[in-house]
Chains A and B, each alone.
Chain A
């Protein structure tokens, strides 16, 4: 399992459009609305958001049984959680839906962008990272 954690992943921001930008306070591009010197993130955001890129390690990819485990874990959290397959350039799907998860058609080595938004977003991402 490998993953790179980021609070404001530019790739994810591109994939998920304006909503993601707003939630994560996307910065690091020329269009950042934040003036110099401003913190990238508010200290206590009303709606916590967290994203991470994980790499699928299972030789059989993300299949029915491993997908089941992902949905089981994701369903324990209040946060809304999405995943996009960066390797296939898919749009983000609901990680609490087994059928949407399977739409990612994630093979071994594919990079998935996981994004959680909600009060327990941090814990959700921590828990999910261990599954890939």
Chain B
């Protein structure tokens, strides 16, 4: 079963998304979080080494999917992947999914035992699902 890492500029946002995702996964999926720049959660930003630690915490050979909020979170996640040993890097994936919807969908499908690429595909499909029925 794959692991997930939630990356956000805000530790509180990462914790909140983690809470939602954990409920969807029913406790069956390892979900890490890397939010903010400091442990007290006061400084906003993303940091590659914090993301790297979160990947290590949830590591599993089935792979790890990273979900980022926006902007430099993507850059920091890329840097974290570069810091990984090769055999791990190729089993990590940065998702293009929107953070909240993507985390919810990914957690649910990861808990169903789906592989990394499949979980990412269904999470990224969230981009084309309008929130309001009939919109879009």
Contact-size category for A: 10 to 19
Are A99 and B126 in touch, CB under 8 angstroms? yes
Q: Does B81 contact A (CB under 8 A)?
A: no
Residue B130 at the chain A interface, CB threshold 8 Å: yes
Chain A residues lying within 8 Å of B122, measured Cβ to Cβ, are: 97
Contact of B108 among A71, A100, A105 (CB under 8 A): A71
B101 contacts A72, C-beta separation under 8 Å: no
Q: How many A-B residue pairs have CB under 8 A?
A: 40
Annotate A86-125 by CB proximity to B: 1 below 8 A, 0 otherwise: 0010100000011110011100000000000000000000
Interface residues of B (CB under 8 A from A): 20, 23-24, 26, 101, 104-105, 108, 111-112, 122, 125-126, 129-134
**CB of A90, distance to nearest CB on chain B (Å):** 5
**Cβ of B31 to closest chain A Cβ, rounded Å:** 15
Contact call A75/B129, Cβ cutoff below 8 A: no
Q: Does A68 contact B (CB under 8 A)?
A: yes
Q: Is the Cβ of A68 less than 8 Å from the Cβ of B133? A: no
Min distance, Cβ B73 to any Cβ of chain A, angstroms: 22
